[in-house]
Structure 1
Amino acid sequence: MKILIDASRAVIENAGIARYTRNICANLAAQDKNNQYDFLVTFARLDKEKIRQINNLSKYGKVIVRRIPGNFKEFLWQKKWAKIFFNHWYKNYDLFFAPSFLELPQFIDIPAILTIHDLTTFRFPEQRGQEVSQRLSRVAQSACQKATQVIAISEQTKNDLIKFCQIPKSKISVILLAAESKFHHKKLPKENFILSVGTLEPRKNVPTLIKAYALLPEKVQKKYQLKIVGGVGWNESNIFITIKKLKNKGQVDFLGYVSDKKLIQLYNQASVFVYPSIFEGFGLPVLEAMQCGAPVITTCVSSLPEVGGMAVKYLDKSGDSQKLSQLIKNMLASQKLQQQMSQAGIAQAKKFSWQKTASKTIAILDLL
């Protein structure tokens, strides 16, 4: 078969779906010797980073670049009449693969596979604002209905597809994600800091982490800095309001976006990794941290137990800053516990790989 993948987000973004797109493209092309893969990339403006990502994609197949602004594409891809102008992009292929719901056009005639990462706009419409959430939820539901088969990245996402989009179970396949192999345990000296990773937005629950940190004994705060990695998302003002109330404000370090090289170093050197998310479709930072040998504390919600298994410490209620503070304190107080959780995390992380993810995806593609 000739398969077209919309790999745009692998070129124009750096967050979770971009990582998924890059890895699934590379691993499908590397493993699948029976099908041909081409990659569609759309954007408005070209720059050095896009050129670098396009060159990387071209190692795995033909890259087709089309100039179209993202918001214009989102609008047109929902209009069946747009077929007149854009269907020739797709008509010479046997199958189309959309790594997220924004990439699936309503006008295409060929079978389509769609990956859904989460349905948080259905669950938490207030976090993005009602207007934005309603629009994205509407697009997601239309994409799921249009798709021939839907891949859910966790059992949690599968359950949400059934609940919110009324997608039949027979149309959904659960294929778990993986962390890249470059995220691995290194023999680096541990340093005195608590690490958290994630876009600064309400679902990541950073204010609860900061409150938990503030509840630690002052001598612990002075010894262990709190480092938070991640770009600014939306509705992040509560995070900085919470920071202003801290006695030891200087001990909280917002690093923003960092390179993978730096992130791997941080995972390896952290005394503990804390991920107090309210809800996840998967929870890739937890897997990356375990793979790097960091002891992990996370919340016992949504898909996170699917990822962490018995290898992490769980916070039962995501808003319980006192309990989270106690979990952090206990972890920092015991080198033995840190070593046990590190070893358990490395073992748990071995259950996941991009080879497995790609192999299961190929099996779905071959059925169509």
Structure 2
Amino acid sequence: MKIGIDGVPLTIPFPCGTKNYAQGLISALAKIDKKNEYLIFASQKVSIPKQKNFRFVQIPSFIPILKRQIFLPFFAKKESLDIFHYLEPFGSVIFKHPKIVTTIHDNNLNYTYPWVSKFLLKRLYCEFTKGAVINNSAALLVDSRTIQKEVKEYLKNREIYPMVYTALLGYNHHFRVIKKYKNRKSKFFLGMGDFAPRKNLVSVLKGYKLLPEEIKYSHKLKIISSTKESALRFRSLAEKYAISNNIDFLENVTQERLIKLYNEASCFLYPSLYE
């Protein structure tokens, strides 16, 4: 079979869940499938497996709004694909194919991208493209029970799509169960995320501030931020709460280092309000 994958999430310039999902899924496919042909469509060069059955297809990007709406369906149809997979639902409204599979990570834009609501045209574009892509899909993949429930409500419980709960499908195969991690050199709490209100990392900083001094002395707080902007804002808040000396701010953390940090942490703090 000839399978097309929307590689736009691979071009996201900072680490995030959608990009990690895309990288992990393609990595996993390369590991288990040497037979089917995979075409990755993106407007800029992205890293893909160095295998004969994986090919990069570059689409023009000189007019951003046309990148996915016109150029992607044009090049996808040109390749005569058997299946096409959107790695997020904001795709082309005109691309029709009998076997489109779409992954939905988040459904409620008020929670995930509150800034979008400030720009009416951007919000309308996102909602319109999401609705069109879902309607054009033959199957949907969701990676949390919350999103599965929301999508069913969004569809008004129409049982017209196979909906697969993927859980960890597509995530990096380096993750494995470790019974006991012996290389803990220091004690620390670990938090991560961007400055989106739903990630609730401000509460992590406030809670850490309230800890007894002896615990703050023995357990530093490490914050992994997805962008430089969010790291600067976290630093500013830490200074405001007078806890900056007890906090390490980490940026551009690789998947390998992230796994190491997960295992070394005394406690992982993730008080997200919506996932």
TM-score, scaled relative to structure 1: 0.63
- In the superposition, relative to structure 1, how do residues 24 and 167 fare at CA in structure 2: closer, same or farther (>3 Å)? farther
**Partners in 1 of 2:222 and 2:86 — Cα distance?**
35
**Partners in 1 of 2:62 and 2:106 — Cα distance?**
20
Aligned to 1:118: 106
Question: Is 1:182 matched up with 2:174?
Answer: yes
Q: Per residue, is there more helix in 1 or in 2?
A: 1
- In the superposition, relative to structure 1, how do residues 86 and 134 fare at CA in structure 2: closer, same or farther (>3 Å)? closer
Aligned to 1:130: 118
Would you say the 8 A contact 1:203–1:277 is kept in 2? yes
Aligned to 1:89: 76
Aligned to 1:328: none
Instruction: Report 1:259-274 matches (<5 A).
Output: 259-274=254-269
Would you say the 8 A contact 2:112–2:196 is kept in 1? no
Question: Is 1:154 matched up with 2:144?
Answer: yes
**Partners in 2 of 1:233 and 1:71 — Cα distance?**
27
Q: Aligned residues, how many?
A: 266
- In the superposition, relative to structure 1, how do residues 175 and 124 fare at CA in structure 2: closer, same or farther (>3 Å)? closer
**Partners in 2 of 1:162 and 1:109 — Cα distance?**
22
Aligned to 2:199: 204
Aligned to 1:357: none
TM-score, scaled relative to structure 2: 0.81
Instruction: Report 1:1-368 matches (<5 A).
Output: 1-10=1-10, 12-13=12-13, 14-32=15-33, 36-44=36-44, 46=45, 50=46, 53-54=47-48, 57-59=49-51, 61-69=53-61, 72=64, 74-75=65-66, 77-78=68-69, 82=70, 86-91=73-78, 92-104=80-92, 106-123=94-111, 126-131=114-119, 132-166=122-156, 168-171=158-161, 172-178=163-169, 179-184=171-176, 185=178, 186-232=181-227, 239-240=234-235, 242-280=237-275
Aligned-partner residue type, residue 58 of structure 1: K
- The share of aligned pairs that are identical, in percent, is 23
Would you say the 8 A contact 2:39–2:56 is kept in 1? yes
- Once the two structures are superposed, residues 235-259 of structure 1 have per-residue CA deviations (whole angstroms, 9 ceiling, x without a partner) of 8887455323313321122112212
- In the superposition, relative to structure 1, how do residues 110 and 60 fare at CA in structure 2: closer, same or farther (>3 Å)? farther
Would you say the 8 A contact 1:116–1:153 is kept in 2? yes
* 1:25 CA displacement: 2.5
Would you say the 8 A contact 1:229–1:256 is kept in 2? yes
- In the superposition, relative to structure 1, how do residues 191 and 235 fare at CA in structure 2: closer, same or farther (>3 Å)? closer
Select the structure with the greater relative contact order (CA < 8 A; seq sep ≥ 6): 2
Comparing 235-244 and 267-276, the one that deviates more:
235-244
* 1:134 CA displacement: 4.0
* 1:208 CA displacement: 0.4
